[in-house]
């Protein structure tokens, strides 16, 4: 069986400094059925733009320039606008980072969920409102029967995010894109929302594409992880493999800079420098300027993906170099790296 979502060579461009810069640059990844894939990266790495590209909601003047996005084998990027509208919500639903501003402030929250239901299904108002109440109960909103009549400003951030999740679930999507769903919430609420997402995923067997910069969240909920750096994926691996054996220097840096209780009192190691701006991305590996293992070859062209373990792909010259060095030693040749 093929994956639920197959993304190949997805490229999204924005005009910047007189040229069209690929903010998302030839991304390849898959989300399996019932799988939670975490897309991890710093701010500016193109995570959110990837999500919006999948939904074809990239804000102007940006545009999805090329590539392919297949949901259940159906190509989304050349779908007519009307058909794409049916996919949004019913095929792929999305929740956002800012529950405070993501709900319409002058509409009752129930009304907003009812709208989502009725956009995809021919049901009456009252039937839709009943379903909205059940959805509210499902996502753990207390007093669901009354809360459907509340306005967003009358709810806490956590409750608003639950409303967003209820809205996202309303048309029974096959894939849920969660773009930093807990970033704006209190830590205790974060854990509740994550557990809710996990529970719902298990109940409905829906797939989740989780976008986050927080490796703690990844560790709690993801099955597989793709690490994004400057518009490119640098490493994909099953969660345990990534945490136990991170291979790309960037991933290693990310994990080292993760605060852990055992390290308390010591200064966290950081990755020197910042993500380069898309308008001056180098031709070679984009992490080269911040990488501790940088070599001459890194400055040339982008490294290709190599399989390094089961389901574990990494794009890094240093690893390839190490591997070939091993081979060369094996046949008794002189050591000499180019």
Partner 1 sequence: MGAYVIRRLGYGAIVVFGVLFLLFILFFTVTSPDDIARKALGERVPPAVVEQWKINHGYDKPLFPAPGQWADNMLVEHYRRMLTFDFGRSDADDTPILERIRKGMGPSLALTIPLFVLSLLVAIPLALLVAFFRETYIDRAGVILAVLAMSVSVLLYIIGAQYLVGKVLHWFPISGFDSNPQVVVRFLALPIMIGVANGLGGDIRFYRTVFLEESNTDYVRTARAKGCGEVRIMSRHVFRNSLIPLLTRIVVAIPFLFTGSLLLESFFGIPGLGAITVDAIQGNDFSVLRTMVYIGSLLFVVGQILTDLSYALVDPRVRLE
The single residue among 62, 89, 246, 303 that binds partner 1, judged by CB under 8 A, is 89
What's the token pair of residue 232? Answer: 């490119």
Q: Shortest gap between Cβ of 224 and partner 1 (angstroms)?
A: 24
Count of residues that interact with partner 1, criterion CB under 8 A? 33
Regarding 94 and contact with partner 1 (CB under 8 A), the answer is yes
Interacting span for partner 1 (CB under 8 A) from 103-111, 186-194, 203-211, 242-250: 103-111
Q: Shortest gap between Cβ of 225 and partner 1 (angstroms)?
A: 24
Regarding 64 and contact with partner 1 (CB under 8 A), the answer is no
Contact between residue 233 and residue 227 where contact means Cβ atoms under 8 Å apart: yes
Interacting span for partner 1 (CB under 8 A) from 111-119, 291-299, 300-308, 321-329: 111-119
Contact between residue 109 and residue 116 where contact means Cβ atoms under 8 Å apart: no
Q: How many CB atoms lie within 10 A of CB 273?
A: 10
Regarding 60 and contact with partner 1 (CB under 8 A), the answer is yes
For residue 237, give every residue at least 6 positions away whose Cβ sits within 8 Å of its Cβ, in sequence order, or none: 224, 225, 245, 246, 247, 309, 311, 312, 313
- Dihedral angle over CA of 92, 5, 52, 138, nearest 10: 30
Regarding 156 and contact with partner 1 (CB under 8 A), the answer is no
Of residues 98 and 220, the one with the C-beta less far from partner 1 = 98
Interacting span for partner 1 (CB under 8 A) from 39-47, 59-67, 140-148, 278-286: 59-67
Regarding 80 and contact with partner 1 (CB under 8 A), the answer is no
* CA gap 324, 223 in Å, rounded: 31
- The sheet with strand 74-75 has its strands ordered as 19-31, 5-16, 63-71, 74-75
Q: What single DSSP character describes residue 39?
A: E
Of residues 69 and 116, the one with the C-beta less far from partner 1 = 116
For residue 190, give every residue at least 6 positions away whose Cβ sits within 8 Å of its Cβ, in sequence order, or none: 182, 217
Contact between residue 7 and residue 27 where contact means Cβ atoms under 8 Å apart: yes
Region for residue 46 given its phi and psi (left: phi exceeds 0; alpha: psi -120 to 50; beta: otherwise): left
Tokens 């919500």 locate to 89
The single residue among 88, 160, 162, 248 that binds partner 1, judged by CB under 8 A, is 88
* CA gap 141, 167 in Å, rounded: 13
The single residue among 18, 73, 80, 105 that binds partner 1, judged by CB under 8 A, is 105
x-marked contacts with partner 1 along 230-269 as a string, rule CB under 8 A? ----------------------------------------
Regarding 151 and contact with partner 1 (CB under 8 A), the answer is yes
Interacting span for partner 1 (CB under 8 A) from 87-95, 206-214, 232-240, 308-316: 87-95
* Interaxial angle between packed helices 157-169 and 187-204, expressed in degrees from 0 to 180 and rounded to the nearest 10: 10
Q: Shortest gap between Cβ of 151 and partner 1 (angstroms)?
A: 4
User: Interaction with partner 1 in 169-208: which residues (CB under 8 A)?
Assistant: 170-171
Give the closest residue to 47 by CA, choosing from 193, 206, 197, 181: 181
Regarding 61 and contact with partner 1 (CB under 8 A), the answer is yes
Of residues 101 and 324, the one with the C-beta less far from partner 1 = 101
Regarding 93 and contact with partner 1 (CB under 8 A), the answer is yes
Regarding 90 and contact with partner 1 (CB under 8 A), the answer is yes
Give the binding site for partner 1 (CB under 8 A): 55, 57, 59-61, 85-90, 93-94, 96, 98, 101-107, 115-116, 119-120, 151, 153, 164, 167-168, 170-171
């Amino acid at each position: 069986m093929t994956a639920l979502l197959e993304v190949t060579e997805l490229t999204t461009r924005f005009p910047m400094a007189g040229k069209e810069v690929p903010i998302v640059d030839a991304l390849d990844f898959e989300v399996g059925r019932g799988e939670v894939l975490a897309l991890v990266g710093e701010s500016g790495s193109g995570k959110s733009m990837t999500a919006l590209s999948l939904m074809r909601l990239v804000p102007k003047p940006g545009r999805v320039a090329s590539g392919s996005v297949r949901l259940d084998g159906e190509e989304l990027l050349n779908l007519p606008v009307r058909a794409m509208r049916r996919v949004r919500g019913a095929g792929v639903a999305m929740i956002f980072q800012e529950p405070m501003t993501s709900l319409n402030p002058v509409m009752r929250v129930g009304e907003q969920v009812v709208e989502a239901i009725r956009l995809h299904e021919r049901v009456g108002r009252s039937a839709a409102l009943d379903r909205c109440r059940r959805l509210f109960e499902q996502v753990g909103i207390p007093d669901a029967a009354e809360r459907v009549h509340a306005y967003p400003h009358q709810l806490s951030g956590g409750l608003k995010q639950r409303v967003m999740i209820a809205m996202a679930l309303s048309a029974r999507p096959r894939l849920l894109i969660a773009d930093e769903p807990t970033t704006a919430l209190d830590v205790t609420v974060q854990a509740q929302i994550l557990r809710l997402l996990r529970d719902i995923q298990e109940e409905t067997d829906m797939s989740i594409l989780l976008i986050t910069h927080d490796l703690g969240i990844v560790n709690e909920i993801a099955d597989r992880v793709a690490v994004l750096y400057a518009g490119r994926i640098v490493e994909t691996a099953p969660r345990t493999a990534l945490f136990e054996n991170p291979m790309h220097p960037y991933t290693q840096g990310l994990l080292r800079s993760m605060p852990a209780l055992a390290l308390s009192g010591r200064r966290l190691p950081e990755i020197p420098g910042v993500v380069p701006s898309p308008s001056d991305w180098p031709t070679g590996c984009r992490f080269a300027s911040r990488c501790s293992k940088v070599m001459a070859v890194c400055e040339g062209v982008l490294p290709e993906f190599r399989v390094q373990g089961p389901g574990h792909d990494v794009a890094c010259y240093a690893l390839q170099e190490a591997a070939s060095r091993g081979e060369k030693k094996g046949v008794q040749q002189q050591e000499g790296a180019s």
